[in-house]
Chains A and B, each alone.
Chain A
Amino acid sequence: MTDATTDISTGPLTTADGRPLKAALAASLAVRRRRAFMLVAPLFLFITISFIVPIGQMLFKSVYNDGFSKNAPALVQWFKEHPKGAEIDESAYAALHSDLILMREQKTAGEAGTRINYDISGTRSLFTGGARKAAKMEPPYKEAFIDADKDWGDPNVWRAMRSASNPFTIDFYLAANDLTRDESGAITAVDEGQAIYKKLMFRTLVLSIEITALCLLLGFPIAHLLATLPMRKAMLLMILVLLPFWTSLLVRTTSWMVLLQSQGVLNDIFVWLGIVDDEGRIQMIYNEMGTIIAMTHILLPFTILPLYSVMKTIPPSYVRAARSLGATSWTAFRRVYLPQTLPGIGAGGLLVFILAMGYYITPALVGGADGQMISNMIAFHMQKSLNWSLAAALAAQLLAVVLIFFWIYDKLVGIDKMKLG
C-alpha cells in the first residue's frame, strides 16, 4: 500500500476521480480503522467505566484519606503555619480544643480518631473522649488536655496528627509493608510481633508456586494422555476434565470440606484401611494442606487445557525419529518431547499462578488460620476492621504483582492466544 507512487517521473498515480491513489487508500484505511474501532468502542467504554475507573478509585483510596484532615480544620491550619519540629505550645492545644468542639457538634470525633488510630492503635477513644470533655475545659488548654488524658502530651500522637493533616499519604503502603514511623517521622520497621503483611505476601507467593507446580505435575500426564489417545476416547476423557471446570467453585470447595474433614470420607477410608487409627485421624482441612489440595483441584483444568492444545500439535514422528536414532525413551522425552511442550507449560503455569495469587473463596473456607492468603487479609480490612485505605494499599500491591505476571504472560504466550474449554 505504501508503494503507491513507484514511478515518480510520471507523477503520482490517481484514482478515477483524480485524487492521488496514496491519499485515497489512506482515507479508506482510516475509514475502516474507524469502523473497527467504533465496534469496540461501546465495550471499551463500558469496561473503562465499570471496571477500570473503580480500580483507579481504589488506588486513589490507598494514598488518600481525609478522615482527619476534613474534620480538624484548625489543627490543619496550625500544622501548616508551624513546620515540623515546632514546639507543641498552647496555640496548638487551642486549635485542638476548637476542633474537638466542632467534632462534638458534627459527631465526627470517631471518624477523625479512626484515622489516627490506623497509625497508633488505641487512640480512637482519645478523640471520642476528648470531644466529650472539651466543652468543660478552660484555658490554659495544654494543662487541661494533659490532665484529662496524658496521651495528649505524647509527641507521637502529635506526629500522627501532623501526618494525617495532609490527606495524601503513603502511610498505608508503609503499613502494608510492616513499616511505621517513629516520633521523629523516620520510617522504621514495626515490632516483630506485629509484622504480618510481608510474611503473608511471602506465604501467598509460596503457596501459589506450590499449587502451580502441583498442577503442572498432575496436568502434564493427563494432557499427554489426552493428546495421544485416539480422538473418540480422548473426547470422552476430556469430559472428566471439563466437568470440574464447569462446576461451581463453591460446590467444589464444599466437596473438599466434606471429603477432608476429620470425620469425613477420606479419613473414614484411611481408618477402614488401617492406615491411621480412629484417634489419629489426619487433619487435612482448615490448614495449609486444605488450601493446597482444594486449589490444586480447582485450578488443574487451567493447566491441562493449554498443555493439551500444545501437545496436540506435536507430531509423534519426532519422538519416533529420536528413538530410531538410538535415544532411550527417557532421552527422547527429555530432549525431544519436553522442549516442544514448553509453550504449554509456560501458558498453563503462568495462568494458574496468576489465578492462584488472587484466590479468596477457597482459602477463606478451607484454609483455617495458616492457609490464608493476602486476599483474605484484604477482605478482612474491607469487612471487619474497616481500614479501607490499608485494604486498598494491600490490593494495589497484589495488583502490581499480578499485572507483572500478566505482562510476562502476554510476552510469552500472547493474550489473544488464551483459550477456554
Chain B
Amino acid sequence: MALPVYASPLEKLWHYTYIVLCAGIFIFLIAPIIVIIPLSFNAEPYFTFTDKMIAFDPEGYSIRWYDKLITFGMVNPDAPRDMSFWIDFWQHAAWMQAAKNSVIIGVFATILAAGLGTIAALGLTRPEMPFRKQITAVLISPMIVPIIISATGMFFFYSGKWVPTVGSDGFEWGRLAGTYAGIILAHAALGIPFVIITVTATLSGFDQSLVRAAASLGANPRTAFFKVQMPLIMPGVISGGLFAFVTSFDEVVAVLFIADHTQQTIPRQMWNGIREQISPAILAVATLLVILSVSLLTVVELLRRRSERLRGMSPS
C-alpha cells in the first residue's frame, strides 16, 4: 500500500484522500457499535451524550440502566441484595428468563445443526456424491430465502396438529407451535447453511491422503475418522456451530411467528422493548450483546488461525 516513489503530486493527493476515505468507512462500520457502550451508562434517560458526560463528570454516568435490567420483572426488585434477591433474580427477572430461553434454544439448535451439518458436509465433499450441486442448493436455501417467508411457512406448518403427544386424556395430536421443540427445529434449519458452508470449506482444504495414510497403517475407517480427520476439521465444525448459535441467538422473526408468550427470548424481548418504548435499558442489553459478540469473534479468529497452522499455512 506504500506510495511508489514515482508517484505524481496528483497521485499523492489521491492516495491520501483514499486513506481518509477508508478511515471514514471504518468509522461508519464500527462507530455505531462503540457509541452505545458509553451511552448505556448515561445517568439521564436520553440517547445522546449529556454535557456532564462530555465533561467526564462522574455524576453524568451511572449503572441505573443495568440495575433496571436486572430487576425488571422481579417479585421484590427493591429487596436488599442478599441471597434471596439473587434467587428471585434467577427465577423471575424477565431478562434472565429470556437469556435462559435463548441459551436453551440456541444450544440444542446448534447441536442439531452442527451434528447433521457436519455429517452431510462429509458426504457432500466426497467426489462421488450424486447431485451435489442441487442438494447443496437445497441445504443452503434457508440462508437465502427471506426470513419472513421462512417464518410464514413455518407458522402454517407448525400450527398444524400432526405431532403425536400425550395429552390430559391419553394420546392426541398436538402442534409444534408454542413449544421449545418447534423453535429448536426452526432455528436448526436456519443455522444449517452456516455449518455446511464452513465445514465444507474446511474439508476442501483437508488432505485426504492423511486418511489413506491412517488406513495403510492399519486404522479402520472409524478410527481414521475419529483420530485423524475429526481433530483436523474440528475448528471448522466449531466455527460453523458458533455461526449457527449466533443465528439462533439473534433470531426474532421465527420466534415471533411460532413461539407463544412463555418462550420469550433475548431478541424478542429487545424487539418488544424497541417497538414499545425504547429506553436506555435496551442499550445496556445491547452493550452486553456486543461484549458477547467480541468474545465469539475472538474464539472464531483463534480457531481459524489454529486451523491454518494445522494445515501448514501461516498467517503472515
Contacts and interface: CB of A to CB of B under 8 A. Distances in A.
Interface of A: 29, 32-33, 35-40, 42-44, 46-48, 50-58, 61, 218, 221-222, 225, 228-232, 235, 237, 239-244, 246-259, 261, 263-265, 268, 297, 300-301, 329, 354, 357-361, 365, 375, 378-379, 382-383, 388, 391-392, 395, 398-399, 402-403, 406, 410, 415-416, 418-421
A50 B152 contact: no
Nearest to B251: A249
Given A51-B142, A222-B29, 15 more contacts: A36-B124, A39-B119, A43-B139, A50-B154, A58-B156, A235-B315, A241-B29, A244-B30, A248-B246, A251-B36, A254-B270, A358-B145, A399-B146, A416-B200, A420-B198
Interface residues of B, number: 96
Contact of A29 (B32, B128, B201): B128
B69 to A, nearest CB: 14
A108 to B, nearest CB: 18
Contacts of A391: 152
Contacts of A50: 154, 157, 185-186, 188-189
A402 B145 contact: yes
Given A57-B157, A258-B39, A392-B152, A360 B253 contact: yes
Interface in B8-38: 11, 14, 18, 21-22, 25-26, 28-33, 35-36
Chain A contact surface mostly? helix
B84 interface: no
A230 B316 CA distance: 8
Contacts of A300: 28-29
A47 B139 contact: yes
B274 A357 contact: no
5 contacts: A36-B130, A55-B153, A231-B315, A235-B315, A399-B145
A58 B160 CA distance: 12
B189 A46 contact: yes
B35 A418 contact: no
A252 B33 contact: yes
B65 interface: no
A240 B22 CA distance: 12
A44 B138 contact: yes
Given A221-B18, A360-B146, A40 B246 contact: no
Given A47-B189, A243-B294, A229 B155 contact: no
Contact of A250 (B22, B157, B198, B270): B270
B14 to A, nearest CB: 8
Given A240-B29, A254-B286, A258-B36, A36 B129 contact: yes
Contacts of A237: 26
Contacts of B145: 55, 358, 399, 402
A58 B149 contact: yes
B189 A402 contact: no
B136 A256 contact: no
A54 B39 contact: no
Nearest to B282: A254
A222 B25 contact: yes
A243 B150 CA distance: 27
A70 B35 CA distance: 57
A264 B197 contact: no
Contacts of B158: 54
A243 B297 contact: yes
A406 B193 CA distance: 14
A263 B35 contact: no
B219 interface: no
B94 interface: no
B289 interface: yes
Interface stretch (B41-49, B73-81, B208-216): B41-49
B192 A47 contact: yes
Given A248-B289, A255-B286, A358-B145, A229 B1 contact: yes
